[in-house]
Amino acid sequence: MSKEIKIRKGVDIKLKGVAEKIYANPVNVSEIVLKPENFPTLIPKLLVKVGDKVKAGSPLFCDKENDKILFTSPISGEVVEINRAEKRRIVDVKVKSDGQSSYESFKQADTSSLTREEIIENLLKSGVWPFIRQRPYDVIANPAVKPKAIFISTFDSAPLAPDYSFVVHGQTEIFQAGLNALAKLTDGKVHLNNSGNDNVDAAFSGAKNVQINRFYGPHPAGNVGIQAHHIDPVNKGEVVWVLRALDVLTIGKLFKEGKFDASRTVAFVGSKVKSPKYIKTVLGAKITDIVSGNVEDGGRFISGNPLSGSQISANGHLGFYDYQLSVIPEGGNDQFFGWIAPGFDKFSLSRTFCSWLTPNKEYDLNTNCNGEERAFVVTGEYEKVFPMDIYPVYLVKAMITEDIDRMEQLGVYEVAPEDFALCEYACTSKISTQKIVREALNLVKKECS
Amino acid sequence: MKALESFMQKIKPKSDGKFPLAYTVWDGTYTFLFVPGHTNHNGVHIKDGIDLKRTMSMVVLALIPALLFGMYNVGHQHFLAIGEITSADNVCSMFWDKFFYGAKLVLPIVIVSYAVGLGVEFIFATINKHAIHEGFLVTGMLIPLIVPVGVPLWMVAIATIFAVVIGKEVFGGTGMNVVNVALVARAFLFFAYPTKMSGDQVWISLGEGKAIDGFSGATPLSNVIEGGVEAIPSLMDSIIGFIPGSIGETSVIAIGLGALILIATGVGSLRIMLSMIAGGFLTGLMFNAVGGNPYFELPAVYHLVLGGFMFGAVFMATDPVTASQTNTGKIIYGLLIGVMAILIRVANPAYPEGVMLAILLGNVVAPLIDTIVVNSNINRRLKRIKTA
């Protein structure tokens, strides 16, 4: 029953600084930070105070609306800072490592002997639950709901993204354990969506207990929301859960080893990185430990990929969901007659730059907007890079006008901000599409629940 | 460049100062000279190189062949009319005389159109406190190309003001207008000054000279009414463009060059161009089969090369703001305009220039077409729930 799907719309933006497939020397993690802003719509409730000693897996805060959803410390150490912004909103919770690795212990069992409720309880208690996200709304899954299916993407097609097959290599058993746990959470299918490329690791291509699908084509073929749309789209009233393959490893480790092992492999990439490699570190790690002199000046640090990641400072921390640390040149210079220059160094989807003559070139793009914001003028741009049976501009306009009925009609339940990243990239009018989508999803969630 | 940049920064007026218009003008000039180095802080960190200025300047670039040929043709028609050359002469004889004669008449129209239009834009940008938007870059070039050479400059000025204010700014500016701004200017001239805008006086400039005997200054399409199908010029002349008509519309070759630029850069919609041409050609064939008055008998291919059909198909109907926005919608929209253009031409000889009216009509129904297309998508989604 596996499906083969070709994605035709989209584009691979080839950037300089792809990670070489080797691991850099292991680094010490001096401190970590957990940021509630990584979880859209979450209102956190603190469970610790400054000075508390925590182990890996000890709760730091929980979801105010559902206090069973815990966010636990990835390392053992001491809570050293809790930063707040206006209205006492929690910005982040910082834990300083004690240099040891002591873990809270959770249930360690073969998932076939556990019930659905026991699995969910174990995931919630350990703080692994937030890795499971849902459509609609692209938020942390609601444990009280039974999803109609679970989708797992085993590849990331975004620019400079880590190769999941490389990272998962040698962890077949752990990955399978994670899949087995997930399979018990739904009455429907667990879809494992592989890349159509040949070099897919055996952990993915030989996975059991799931339906394996193959996706061909350019970015955003690796976005799990795009994949769900082509296999079993979300209708009004339905819920699907989505994960990325590397999240499944954390679930697998929980049931195999009985602990919240937040260690992860991060691709350290971008044209400003002297030698881009893979680095083993921990969720939320401080990036100075990773960077340690390996970057050139004038770079912007992005936790995640350059299309949908978030900007962090040079001594910031990785985001909860990010397996990539990108450093690309910071822009900010006015460009003399930039709008008429031939532009061999500018990558564009429009063929108005000479760069379309060199399709295989790797680009070193900076963070300039290359223009000012305007009203929608050019049509057909979003459609070229949005591989869903949805009219993206009409949906975005409904979002801007906060017309929930119209959004519902046009397919708001199927989309996530990351699916619009290429639209935002290509937009001639420089409209911040992902922000609009995120705010609209928050609005619909608030109004409809 | 650094010196220019620092000079510009030095003279930067305050946006909330005594002269807000000064700031708008400064901002317009500065962003024309320099693409501002704004950076993104949320959402995508890298962005496509394209912006609206570049898109619009591609269209202006695509209009240049039609403009240059228009200048030459104005001179050509002039010397033909006063008898200094005959149609038997080599078309390149007196090349520079023809070109400069035409340039002398056409450039003032271009300058008036841009000066007046940009003036209005600057004032509105100041009132609305936003930056100058680029829409008028193209409109300012389109207006001179779709008027006859004999149009008085004050009429160009009034038509431009009317078009920018009523056609665009009242709807909210660039990107918000319902109908094509340049066509609003053309329609305004056509209906406000019908005697000046049609007949046989305006299409050819006689200047100081005196027309030779038997000269008719009317466009081929109006000639067809009186003289029948025999009165039209050869197909070759119509394609190259040595016929009387609006300044930029006569040469299919020059327009074709522009079309190539638009299609190669992906700025213009090939769907609209092709479907409009197909619609026009098929309707022409249909009328040929019926027969009747001379218009019915005009061969279908002539319908495409005479008058403003090609210019409309390449530069007017494809305006992304006023055209249909969905891909399916674009095909329906183009077909509709093609059909309507020929229908108006043939069925109502009072308006030989049916293309202008057809595109305006197309602009008005474009949102309706899109609604139908988008609704079919909505219904598909609803059906999915029922079958699930």
| Mutation target vs A (from B45, B130, B324; most A CBs, 10 A cutoff) | B45
The total number of structural domains that make up chain B: 2
Tokens linked to A332 = 């900010």
Q: Do B327 and A335 touch (CB under 8 A)?
A: no
Please answer whether residues A83 and A71 qualify as being in contact, where contact means their C-beta atoms are separated by less than 8 angstroms. no
**Domain range for B329:** 268-381
The reported pLDDT for the residue numbered B231 is 65
CB of A375 less than 8 A from some CB of B = yes
Q: Do B131 and A233 touch (CB under 8 A)?
A: no
Q: Residue B306 carries which side chain, given as an amino acid letter?
A: L
CB of A332 less than 8 A from some CB of B = yes
Tokens linked to B161 = 């003001």
Give yes or no: residues B213 and B307 share one domain.
no
Q: End of a domain among A243, A264, A285?
A: A264
Give yes or no: residues B90 and B123 share one domain.
yes
Give yes or no: residues B176 and B214 share one domain.
yes
**Domain range for A59:** 1-13+26-264
Q: Go through B329-344 and write b for each residue having 16 or more CB atoms within 10 A of its CB, e for each that does not.
A: bbbbbbbbbbbbbbbb
Give yes or no: residues A209 and A75 share one domain.
yes
pLDDT by residue for chain B (388 residues), tens only, comes to: 677 777 777 777 776 777 777 777 778 787 777 777 777 777 889 988 888 888 898 999 999 999 999 999 999 988 888 888 877 777 777 888 899 999 999 999 999 999 999 999 988 888 888 888 888 889 999 999 999 988 899 999 999 999 999 999 999 888 889 999 999 999 999 889 887 777 666 777 777 667 776 666 677 777 766 666 666 777 888 888 888 888 999 899 999 999 999 999 888 999 999 999 999 999 999 988 887 777 777 888 888 888 889 999 999 999 999 999 999 999 999 999 999 999 988 887 677 678 999 999 999 999 999 999 999 999 998 888 877 5
Please answer whether residues A227 and A151 qualify as being in contact, where contact means their C-beta atoms are separated by less than 8 angstroms. yes
What contacts 24+ positions apart, CB below 8 Å, involve A132-135? A132/A182, A132/A241, A132/A242, A132/A243, A132/A247, A133/A241, A133/A242, A133/A243, A134/A239, A134/A240, A134/A241, A134/A242, A135/A225, A135/A228, A135/A234, A135/A239, A135/A240, A135/A242, A135/A413, A135/A414, A135/A416
Give yes or no: residues A119 and A245 share one domain.
yes
Give yes or no: residues A257 and A277 share one domain.
no
- For residue B187, the distance in angstroms to the closest alpha carbon of chain A comes to 23
List, as ranges, residues 36-65 from B with C-beta within 8 Å of A: 36-55, 57-58
Give yes or no: residues A405 and A257 share one domain.
no
Domain membership of residue A360 (yes or no) is no
- For residue A381, the distance in angstroms to the closest alpha carbon of chain B comes to 10
Tally of residues, chain A: 449
The reported pLDDT for the residue numbered B103 is 92
Domain membership of residue A362 (yes or no) is no
Q: Do B327 and A370 touch (CB under 8 A)?
A: no
Residue numbers in A near B1 (CB within 8 A): 336
Q: Taking Cα atoms as reference points, which of B44, B227, B245 lies closest to residue A307?
A: B44
List, as ranges, residues 380-409 from A with C-beta within 8 Å of B: 380, 383, 389-391, 393-394, 409
The total number of structural domains that make up chain A: 3
Distance separating alpha carbons of residues A395 and A437, to the nearest angstrom = 9
Q: Is A11 exposed, middle or buried (0-12, 13-18, 19+ CB in 10 A)?
A: middle
Please answer whether residues A305 and A158 qualify as being in contact, where contact means their C-beta atoms are separated by less than 8 angstroms. yes
Q: How big is the CA angle at B186 (ends B180 and B187), to the nearest 5 degrees?
A: 85
List, as ranges, residues 192-251 from A with C-beta within 8 Å of B: 233, 235-238
Give yes or no: residues A259 and A279 share one domain.
no
ipTM of this predicted structure: 0.88
Q: What are the tens digits of pLDDT across the range A119-130? A: 999 999 999 999
Pinpoint the alpha helices (H) of A295-373: none
- For residue A259, the distance in angstroms to the closest alpha carbon of chain B comes to 34
CB of A374 less than 8 A from some CB of B = yes
Tokens linked to A446 = 């608030």
Give yes or no: residues A170 and A259 share one domain.
yes
Q: Do A427 and B4 touch (CB under 8 A)?
A: no
Domain membership of residue B170 (yes or no) is yes
Q: End of a domain among A299, A330, A346?
A: A346
- For residue A174, the distance in angstroms to the closest alpha carbon of chain B comes to 34
Tokens linked to A124 = 């919630």
Alpha-carbon separation of residue B68 from B61, B96, B111, B252 (angstroms): 11, 12, 15, 13
CB of A437 less than 8 A from some CB of B = no
Half-sphere exposure of B41 (CA within 13 A, CB side): 4
Give yes or no: residues B349 and B298 share one domain.
yes
Query: Picking from A108-117, A312-321, B12-21, B341-350, which range would have the lowest pLDDT averaged per residue?
Result: B12-21
Give yes or no: residues A45 and A143 share one domain.
yes
Q: End of a domain among B222, B254, B286?
A: B254
Distance separating alpha carbons of residues B213 and B230, to the nearest angstrom = 19
Give yes or no: residues B212 and B332 share one domain.
no
Q: What are the tens digits of pLDDT across the range B244-291? A: 888 999 899 999 999 999 999 888 999 999 999 999 999 999 988 887
Give yes or no: residues B305 and B193 share one domain.
no
First to last CA, chain B: 63
Distance separating alpha carbons of residues A396 and A376, to the nearest angstrom = 11
Q: Do B51 and A15 touch (CB under 8 A)?
A: no
Q: A83 Cβ partners below 8 Å, 6+ apart? A: A90, A91, A92, A94
Residues facing residue A191 across a β-bridge: A151, A211
- For residue A170, the distance in angstroms to the closest alpha carbon of chain B comes to 34
Give yes or no: residues A97 and A61 share one domain.
yes
How are strands ordered across the β-sheet holding A240-244?
Answer: A4-6, A211-216, A189-195, A149-153, A240-244, A133-135, A139-140
Q: Residue A422 carries which side chain, given as an amino acid letter?
A: L
Task: Find the closest chain A residue to B270 by CA distance.
Answer: A380
| Mutation target vs B (from A328, A334, A423; most B CBs, 10 A cutoff) | A334
CB of B6 less than 8 A from some CB of A = no
Tokens linked to B32 = 């024309």
Please answer whether residues B332 and B324 qualify as being in contact, where contact means their C-beta atoms are separated by less than 8 angstroms. yes
List, as ranges, residues 128-167 from B with C-beta within 8 Å of A: 131, 133-135
Half-sphere exposure of A320 (CA within 13 A, CB side): 21
Give yes or no: residues A188 and A324 share one domain.
no
How are strands ordered across the β-sheet holding A277-282?
Answer: A277-282, A263-269, A324-329, A299-303, A310-312
Q: Residue B17 carries which side chain, given as an amino acid letter?
A: G
